[in-house]
Amino acid sequence: MAYLFTSESVSEGHPDKVADQISDALIDNFLAFDPTSKVACETLVTTGQVVLAGEVKSKAYLDVQEIARGVIRKIGYTKSEYMFEANSCGILSAIHEQSQDINQGVDKKKKEEQGAGDQGMMFGYATNETENYMPLALALSHDILKELALVRRENKAIKYLRPDAKSQVTLEYDDNNKPVRIDAIVVSTQHDDFGKDDVMLAKIKKDIINIVIPRVKAKYTKYAHLFNNKIKYHINPTGKFVIGGPHGDTGLTGRKIIVDTYGGKGAHGGGAFSGKDPSKVDRSAAYATRHIAKNLVAAGLCDEVLVQVSYAIGVAQPTSINVVTYGTAKVKMTDGQIAEKLMKMSCFDMRPYFIEQRLKLRNPIYSETAAYGHMGRTPETVEKVFHSPDGKSIKKKVELFTWEKLDAIKEVKKVFKLK
């Protein structure tokens, strides 16, 4: 029976994402100057104010205020009329030292015995629905907002856009779980006050449909037929959206975890990613399970898979690994048997230290993850520059989104005897 499925995304200027990006910028700076740093940093943003709180164990000393202002400036909150502006907002830091009780469970004499930074379960998901092995509704939602941000920065085709925005895409699937139609697209974008309400709303709707959506469609040649004149568009459905960003809504780190992962497909363990160093398995193990899931699907083991891992705080070995292939496995094995084989594969060692080493997670790679999803991104090597309060600068060449690399396909095919 045909069914509908919906995913949403939020822009880099959404209050919760502003908070995520500040938290991850702090993580990057700590790791740049001290790769052994242990950090759990939360950010709150509201009208004219940023509050930083958390626990840190690090040799690095940072100008956290300037780091936060740099993030806000880069996002685009640079005008006083936004009521939240990079140069003038107040910034309060309540960051303090990490609890020794927590740290003793993580740091061990032998690095390979490093314990998990917390208990909990983490999930990784992949599907062959798209080229990046992500659910289509979420991929479309992200791309709508990426294009909206590009149009805003170009400031040519559309000149009234402000940083805050949300999107949502509803797809219809057939009996074979294949997307056959875009049922609805929702876009709410903050904008300047440039006229009467009905005139503004009419222009915004026209511009989104005629300028932004075609740019998104161009990325999806396989699904270009889904973009037709039968789509129901809801553009700024509540009316004008001038008051937005942290002035319109308070933002907090870690409140967009479904946007960060799979848009409601598969499952989520409940732990946020941003603001956490990789000793926190909420983050590192979620990346590692995505790496497993993506390589399993890319190797042809199955069309769709969900991988779960769980930990006890202070213990290196996972308490469980679970695999669900939704009946799409191409091998004559149960999901339990597949999981049992995975646990023995050295390329998927799920002990925290080995995850950190395999995916190079002790590098300053997290700012780029904090908007438009942590999964489904393109791996790349970049050079980043960081500045310390004493005037010193450090350059780091780092690999981004290592968990998206398809570097275990050969091993998966060998272990599961796939052609």
**Which residue ranges make up the annotated binding site for K(+)?**
42
Binding-site residue positions for ATP:
14, 164-166, 240-241, 249, 255-256, 272, 276
Place of tokens 């880099």: 12
CA-CA distance, 84 to 190, in Å (whole number)? 14
Read off the tokens for 332: 């004559």
- CA angle 389-401-123, nearest 5°? 115
Binding-site residue positions for L-methionine:
55, 98, 249, 280
State the pairing for strand pair 49-57/90-97.
Answer: parallel
CA-CA distance, 170 to 144, in Å (whole number)? 13
Binding-site residue positions:
14, 16, 42, 55, 98, 164-166, 240-241, 249, 255-256, 272, 276, 280
CB–CB of 123/306 below 8 Å? yes
CA-CA distance, 3 to 374, in Å (whole number)? 27
Binding-site residue positions for Mg(2+):
16
